């Protein structure tokens, strides 16, 4: 069974803070993704990574960066959190052998 | 980039009736169309998908149809049950697995 875990379920941060969201998978999947989910907007891709140390911008990368130093771990970084980054953040992995993205449980981030 | 539009945003059906959700996409290079179901408080999970070389695919009570010419695809749920109540997302992608999602449809099945 694929397991995708995220470091926190709920997080409250202040405006201007640097925020780290971590995602860990145990299935040796090459591809990893970070999405944010907002009501009425669906899931929007922030960044994705095909391999260690590789990253590509998604549709809404502004204000975010990522790090993938190990295959199983993909981190999303908010350099200076702002209130408009309050959202649900979902990590996902994708196996090249099976067409399915496996999602983590999500982190609900509130920036005050 | 790809733009996926999904309709309706909410859908209420009587138990036992059918539900249909429609999506359109903009990038003719898209060739993979999955549907995800997200129950309240849970993570999205793949329920069915279709590739552009196939026009229809069925899995028990759910089916997906694809019209490449018109660039639209639909999810059909027959004999709806209370456990079908959830948010459903369509998505489209090319070979790089970079999914573009629709805004979601909240389906409520009334007992």
pLDDT at position B98 is: 86
Q: What is the pLDDT of residues A3-49, one digit of tens each?
A: 899 999 999 999 999 999 999 999 889 999 999 999 999 999 999 99
pLDDT at position A100 is: 83
Q: What is the pLDDT of residues A52-108, one digit of tens each?
A: 989 999 999 999 999 999 999 999 999 999 999 999 999 999 877 767 889 999 999
List phi, psi (to 5°) of A83: -60, -30
Grouping H, G, I as helix, E, B as strand and the rest as coil, residue A103 is strand
Distance CA A7, CA A24 (A): 8
Q: What is the pLDDT of residues B37-70, one digit of tens each?
A: 999 999 999 999 998 888 999 999 999 999 999 9
Distance CA B104, CA B38 (A): 9
pLDDT at position B53 is: 83
Mean pLDDT (whole number) for B87-94 = 95
- CB environment B53-79: b (16+ within 10 A), e (fewer): eeeeeeeeebbbbbeeeebbbbbbbee
- Tokens matching residue A32: 């990893």
Kindly list the residues from chain B whose CB atom is less than 8 angstroms away from the CB atom of residue A107: none
Q: Using the beta-carbon criterion (under 8 Å), do B101 and A106 form an inter-chain contact?
A: no
Q: Using the beta-carbon criterion (under 8 Å), do A41 and B103 form an inter-chain contact?
A: yes
Kindly list the residues from chain A whose CB atom is less than 8 angstroms away from the CB atom of residue B52: none
C-beta separation of A101 from B97 below 8 A: yes
Q: Count how many pairs of residues, chain A against chain B, have C-beta atoms within 8 Å.
A: 47
């Amino acid at each position: 069974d694929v397991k995708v875990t995220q470091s926190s379920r709920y997080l409250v941060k202040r405006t201007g803070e640097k925020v780290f969201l971590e995602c860990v998978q145990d299935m040796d999947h090459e591809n990893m993704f970070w999405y944010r989910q907002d009501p009425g907007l669906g899931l929007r891709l922030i960044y994705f990574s095909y391999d260690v140390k590789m990253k590509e911008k998604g549709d809404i990368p502004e204000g975010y960066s990522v790090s993938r130093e190990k295959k199983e771990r993909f981190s999303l970084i908010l350099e200076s959190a702002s209130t408009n980054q309050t959202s649900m953040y979902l990590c996902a992995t994708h196996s090249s052998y099976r067409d399915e993205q496996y999602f983590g449980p999500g982190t609900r981030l509130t920036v005050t | 980039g790809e733009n996926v539009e999904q309709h309706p945003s909410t859908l209420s059906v009587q138990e036992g009736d059918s539900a249909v959700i429609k999506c359109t996409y903009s990038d003719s290079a898209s060739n993979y169309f999955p549907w995800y179901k997200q129950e309240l408080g849970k993570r999205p999970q793949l329920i069915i998908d279709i590739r552009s070389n196939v026009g229809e695919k069925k899995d028990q009570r759910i089916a997906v149809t694809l019209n490449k010419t018109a660039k639209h695809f639909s999810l059909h749920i027959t004999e709806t049950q209370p456990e079908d109540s959830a948010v459903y997302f369509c998505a489209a992608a090319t070979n790089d697995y970079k999914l573009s999602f629709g805004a979601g449809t909240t389906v409520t099945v009334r007992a």
